[in-house]
Each structure stands twice: as structure tokens, then as C-alpha cells.
Amino acid sequence: MRSLVHVLASTAVAAWASALVVQRDSTEVLGVAYVTSLSVNWLLDYLGHSSGRRSPLTHEPTNASAISFATALALSLLYLYDLELALLTFLASGASFVTHLALDLLSGGIYVRDGGSYRRVYLLKLRGPLYSIANSATLALSIASIAVYLLICSSLGAPR
């Protein structure tokens, strides 16, 4: 999937998950979720695409979770004045790497450890027009989910 799709999808998942855990202003939650999602997804793609192909370095669940945790640790240092926001970065980073790998299962696959080596696993192997449709649909659903999140938060006044 495209980087924008990864970032917006994981931002939406992180915002909704965070709304269940912390009681903060919705724009603050969305901002932390977006920055964390952008950082985690960028690192996973930057470090994990050697020669234009995915590598087990970041597209294997254990490695991706370690990179996500390290990113959250670094970002949470920005929020030492507010432990709830620091917790939110960890929650958002977890949502980001899980969403990233879930979306990659649809297109390029992820790696799983099989004994001493890695094996590539696909849920679907979308190519061509189906890949474009999946990107567009995921992007539209992510934007709609963020809009609904903000609408509900502003109309109900929760979470505040």
C-alpha cells in the first residue's frame, strides 16, 4: 500500500483505540496519533525496503514491534510533562505497526520466521487495478473514519 494510506489508516485506528483508553481533547489525540503513525510508518518503510523490496528487517511482526516500541519511546520523551500523552504514543505506535503489517498482507506480503529463515506470507496478492482500488478504498475509509471520530467527539463532547 502507499505511504499515505498506511499513515491515515493507522492514524484512524490509533485515534479510535485511544478514545477508549484516554479522556483527552479529540484534536490532541488525533495529533499525537498522526505524528506517531507518520514516524512509525516512515521508519518501517524506510528501513525495510532494500532495493525496492520489503525485507524481514521491518516487515516481520517481532522486528516491526521492536522498531515501533523504540519509536514510541523516543516520541514519548516529548511528552514527559504529560504521562497520558506519553501512553498515547505507545498505544498509537502499536496500532500503527499492526495496521501497517495488516495492509501489507493485502499487497506485498509480510515475513514470518520459519525455523532459521523467513517465509513471505500473503493474505491477498493484489496487483494492477485491484491494488489501486484497494488503495483508494482504504484511503476513503480512513478519511471517513477520522471524520466520524471528530464528528462524534465534537457533538457528544467526548472524549474530553
- All 3 cell numbers of residue 97? 505497526
Q: What is the pLDDT of residues 4-54, one digit of tens each?
A: 999 999 999 999 998 888 888 888 899 999 999 999 999 998 888 766 777
Taking the C-alpha atoms of residue 8 and residue 95, their distance in angstroms, rounded to an integer, is 12
pLDDT higher than threshold 50 for residue 160: no
Do the domain assignments include residue 93?
Answer: yes
Do the domain assignments include residue 157?
Answer: no
Q: What is the pLDDT of residues 109-159, one digit of tens each?
A: 889 998 889 998 888 777 788 778 887 888 899 999 999 988 888 887 654
Do the domain assignments include residue 160?
Answer: no
Q: Which domain does 94 fall in, by range?
A: 3-144
pLDDT reported for residue 50 = 66
Do the domain assignments include residue 54?
Answer: yes
Q: Model confidence at 65, in pLDDT bands (50, 70, 90)? A: very high
**What domain count does the chain have?**
1
Q: What is the pLDDT of residues 72-84, one digit of tens each?
A: 999 999 888 888 8
Q: Model confidence at 89, in pLDDT bands (50, 70, 90)? A: very high
